[in-house]
Amino acid sequence: MLENLKKWTNYDLIKEYGFSVETLGEQVFNADFYLLSHNTAVDPVLTYGNQQVLDRWEVSWKELTAMRSSDTAKPIDRADRSTLMAQVKAHNYVSGYSGIRISKTGREFQILDGTIWNLLLNDGSFYGQAAWFKAVKYHDKL
């Protein structure tokens, strides 16, 4: 995921946070930012979320990795989300994204200044999309 982020945006999350290669997985999972991804299914399913993601969406790992990516947004916001994902697929990434999302318990929050990008294997084949953001904002009513 992080190699693809650097490829599309030239942003090196590993260098920026001073992560070591030896414990990269653990450091990213416990980092103070949000990182998640989904697969290439017609209605993509989440494949990864770090601890911040699990906490914000109020789900377990098992629940997260069974969740349709579209279910992270309210039904009314899913068309806009779908359009955004198509833009990412066509242009490889979008940065500066802000959007409303919803937790399992119905708590709404706004992603602030997110980056969403395509995930490609070394052979160039598409295998999903990922998102990274540092902050969210809760609202009583949006």
Question: What are 52's two structure tokens?
Answer: 């911040």
Ranges of each domain in the chain: 2-138
The CATH classification number of 2-138 equals: 3.30.450.20
Helix (H) or strand (E) holding 112: strand 108-120
Q: What is the mean pLDDT of residues 88-93?
A: 94
DSSP label at 76?
G
- Span 7-24, mean pLDDT? 95
Distances (CA, A) of 84 to 15, 28, 40, 53, 54: 28, 25, 15, 20, 22
Per-residue pLDDT tens over the stretch 94-105? 999 999 999 999
Lookup: tokens for 33: 């930012």
Tally of CB atoms within 10 A around 27: 16
Task: Specify the pLDDT at position 140.
Answer: 61
pLDDT digits (tens, 9 = 90+) for 28-47: 999 999 999 999 999 999 99
- On the question of pLDDT at 139 being above 80, the answer is no
Environment class of 21 (CB within 10 Å of its CB; exposed 0-12, middle 13-18, buried 19+): exposed
